[in-house]
Amino acid sequence: MKKIFTILAAFVALSSFTIITGLNDVVNAIKSGNAASVSKYFDNTVEITVNGKSSNYSKTQGEVVLRDFFANNAVKSFTVLHQGQSGGAEFCIGTLVTSNGNFRTTLNLKQKGDKQTLQEIKFEK
């Protein structure tokens, strides 16, 4: 019985670490304005919203859209204001400070198999 409990506890701890690591990697990539690093976490499709205009993109298209966004809005800093998780899903709300003003940024990630995937990014002025 102790062995089963120990294995279960280790699994839960490692699962939590994977979720936290995924979000932290995405946050750090956004802080540096690195679209390629953010896109590593994209699901097969990702929803990207910029100032109320929303579209679904493939991984490749999403990376191009994000790269263009960062090229037009040079990142100065990103501060996480709130984050949470529930049932394998995780979200983060923060303020992205750019050369063209501040954007309220929302990230939604979901656990798919053994990987945390980015489902949605919103940038709102």
* 66's tokens: 């994000």
pLDDT in the model for residue 1: 57
pTM of the model: 0.81
- Is residue 6 pLDDT above 60, yes or no? no
- Please identify which residue in the block is written with the tokens 């499709």: 45
φ, ψ of residue 18 in degrees (nearest 5): -60, -45
For the residues 38-59, what does the mean pLDDT come to?
Answer: 96
The domain defined by 2-124 folds into Nuclear Transport Factor 2; Chain: A, (3.10.450)
- Is residue 50 pLDDT above 80, yes or no? yes
In SS3 terms, 21-77 reads as HHHHHHHHHHHCCCHHHHHCCEEEEEEEEECCEEEEEEHHHHHHHHHHHHHHCCEEE
Q: pLDDT digit string (tens) for 54-107?
A: 999 999 999 999 999 999 999 999 999 999 988 878 999 999 999 999 999 999
**Domain-wise residue ranges, the chain:** 2-124
